[in-house]
Structures are given as C-alpha cells and as structure tokens.
Amino acid sequence: MTRNLVFASVLIAPVLLGQPPGNGPMPEAPGRAVVMQVCGTACHGPSVVTGAGRSRDQWTAVVNQMVARGAKASDAELGQIITYLSMNFGPGARPAGEPGGPGGGRGPAAGATGRGPGPLGSGAADSHVVDDAGAERGKAIFGAECNSCHGMKARGGNEALPATQRGPDLIRSMVVLKDRYGSLVSPFLAKGHPMRSGGDAKSLSPAQAGDLAHFLHQRVYATLRNGAELQILNILSGDSKAGATYFSGAGKCSGCHSVTGDFAGIGRRYDAVTLQQKFLFPRTVAFGRGAPPPQPSKPVRVTVTQANGQTVAGNLVSLDDFNVALRDGEGNYRSFTITPQMKVVKQDPLDAHVALLDEISDKNIHDVVAYLESLK
C-alpha cells in the first residue's frame, strides 16, 4: 500500500545526491532502528529527516518518494518508518528556534502560528522537502554564480539592470515550483545557462544542481504566509517622552497603572511587541489568523439581581441572550436563565482598553511602547 511508485518518472539525478550525516537528534522510539537502517546509512544523515514537521499523510508521501528513489524496505518496515517519523517529527513536534525547527526555512508552510504543516499545509503532498545543509551549499553557488541576474532573494533581477542581465523571478518559476530534488532544475541547467564566473551551468554536477534546488525551494517556502523568516521587525519607532505624556495625560493610563507600582520595570519583563499587543488587546481573542492564544487576564464581573431581589455576584463564565453563568466568591458555579424580571449587570475592568481603540493614534501607540520599553 505504501509502496507507491507513481513518482518513478521524475527520478533523474537526485538519487545521487549524497547527504553528509547531520547532527539532528533522532529520539529513541519504536522504529528508530529501521529508520536509521533504511534511510540513514546509504543516503541520509538524520538532519534531512528531522525538522520537516509533517503530518502522517505528508510523511507517507515523502516515504513513497524515497521508495521511488531507491529506498529498500519491506511494506512493514515502511509502515514503521512512517509511524516513527510522524510521531517524532510531526506537526508541532519541534520547539521553535531549535535546529530544523521554525526558522530553518522549511516548508511547506511550516511555522509556529496560523496555518501550520499537516492537513492545512500549502502545496502538493509530495512537495520538495528542503535539506538545510543542501540549501546552504546551494546558497553559496547561487551567491557566486546566479544572484547578479536573479537577485539576492531569487526574486528576479533589479529593474535597474539592462534587460539582458535581468534574470527572471525564480520564486515564480514553474521550473522551480514543479521541481522535486533537482528533477527539473538539473536538466534545465544541463542544457546550458550562463553563470557570473563566465562558465556554463552545464558544468555543475547533479549534486550541485540538487543543492541549488534545495536553496530555491527554501526561498519559495520563505515566501509563504507562514514563512519562517516572516517575523515582526523593530517596532521601537516612538518617542518615549511623548509616550510618558500620553500615559499620564490623554491616554489616562495612569488612572489605573503606576510606573513605580505595577509597571515598575515592565520594559524588562516584556519585549516591545508583547508590550504593544498587551496594552492594546489585554483580552486578545484568538480569532484573526496568526493571533496568539488568549492571555489570562482580569476577569469580567457580573451581578445578577433575581426577580425576588436577591443578588448574586461573581466572575463571569458565560453570557448570552438567554442564560448567564458565573463563579461566586466561594468559587461555586451558578447559572441562571434570564427573564424580563431579572437584572444582569456586567463590569469589565478592561473596558478602558477597548474604548482606547477608537481613540488612540498610531503615533500614540508607538510612543507608549517606547515609553514602556524604557521602564527598565
């Protein structure tokens, strides 16, 4: 079942691409020995395997490809390999920042936020899996021979260049997008293609062409919505003095907060982006794509006055047009069906933050962030 030879036709040179052993961790778990034996001896060091962060379906597709590329194993062994890889290198299995984790430039659509790998990942199930070491080698070739025409980021030559030296955008190239492990890039270059050194790309070995393919796919994946390089840049553009004025003036922040009290040293506790997000959206809802999970925050209070005049107050659990639920001072859960005779009064201590959204200017925001950041 797993031995799917549908990819055999795209096999050209890539089988020859020897990968040096990497240092990525291969956790002890059932199936490890089979993975090492089938994948790790002749072709891969562990680094090409780890970090890809794929779902079981995607790993199945990768393994099928490897079978097509010559991996030798029984069906039972292939099943064990897929299970091992999807259990240990599945979506979300890697801590961010670790080698091969988000930041490694892998795709498709790997990333810590929003649409991650797995069933929501972009692109074809058999999409190219980038080998970081190969991509690094490819980057060196690209930097030496290609980027003068195709641009540093492979997005095509600068428009200031004469047309003859302006290479096309390779991120948008169907040769690249449909390539798998050099299957199209390698024959394209083998037909002959000028290089900066004056040589011809047909002099590149299949392994070098394969490395270029790794680099180009890495650039494509970096372009996707959740591309690993897409991070917030420096947001400290404001004027901290103006921020201080707004804090105690128009922003009315000092009505509730004190820079010598609850905000003492707040610039040490949070980075600038967190400060910005926290003061604008203290009760962030995880609704927009890419939104972080809700932060625990000051609870909403609610007071229910029943028809008989009895009052119950507590922290709001839920409220809609028909029912209200709360936890009272003793931690008891109480719920009521709302009637016309009943009064429900809600009080959110963070209402002032919501009201601020309609009033605050972007300059105020940047100034306040600069001010809070300066409170070390």
Which CB, 99 or 123, lies closer to other proteins? 123
Q: Is 155 in the site for other proteins (CB under 8 A)?
A: yes
Residue 97 φ/ψ, nearest 5 degrees: 90, -20
Pick 231 or 341: Cβ nearer other proteins: 231
Note whether 241 binds other proteins by CB under 8 A: no
* Binding characters for other proteins, 340-359, by CB under 8 A (x = yes): --------------x--xx-
Q: What gap in Å lies between CA 202 and CA 192, rounded to an integer?
A: 5
Distance (Å, rounded) from C-alpha 149 to C-alpha 226?
Answer: 27
CB 204 within 8 A of CB 141: yes
| Count, residues near other proteins per rule CB under 8 A | 66
Which of positions 292-321 make contact with other proteins (CB under 8 A)? 292, 318-321
The single residue among 3, 289, 298, 343 that binds other proteins, judged by CB under 8 A, is 289
| Residue among 298, 277, 273 nearest 286 (CA) | 277
Q: How far apart are CA 276 and CA 369, in angstroms?
A: 6
Report in angstroms the alpha-carbon separations of 105 from 55, 218, 335: 17, 6, 50
| Residue 172 makes contact with other proteins by CB under 8 A | yes
Interface with other proteins, residue 163, by CB under 8 A: no
Q: Does residue number 160 form part of the binding site for other proteins (CB under 8 A)?
A: no
Give the side-chain half-sphere CA count within 13 A for 251: 26
Sign for the CA dihedral angle at 214, 219, 223, 226 comes to positive
Among residues 35, 71, 78, 109, which is the contact residue for other proteins, using CB under 8 A? 109
- Of the pair 195, 365, the CB lying nearest other proteins is at 365
Q: How far is the CB of 288 from other proteins (least distance, A)?
A: 5
Print the binding letters for residues 23-52 with other proteins: x by CB under 8 A, - otherwise.
Answer: ------------------------------
Q: What tokens does 48 get?
A: 């090409």
Identify which of 304, 309, 307, 300 has the alpha carbon closest to the alpha carbon of residue 334. Answer: 304
Q: What is the DSSP string of 226-290?
A: T-TT--------S-HHHHHHHHHTTT-GGGT--TTTTTTTHHHHS-HHHHHHHHH-TT--TTSTT
Residue type, 327: R
Q: Least distance in Å: CB of 276 to other proteins?
A: 6
Select the span of 72-80, 130-138, 152-160, 251-259 touching other proteins (CB under 8 A). Answer: 152-160
Binding segment toward other proteins, per CB under 8 A, in 18-26, 65-73, 201-209, 216-224: 216-224
Q: Confirm or reject binding of residue 171 to other proteins (CB under 8 A).
A: yes
Residue ranges in contact with other proteins by CB under 8 A:
57, 61, 109, 114-115, 118-127, 151, 153, 155-156, 169, 171-172, 174, 177-178, 220, 223-225, 227, 229-238, 273, 276-277, 280-281, 283-285, 287-292, 318-322, 354, 357-358, 360, 362, 365-366
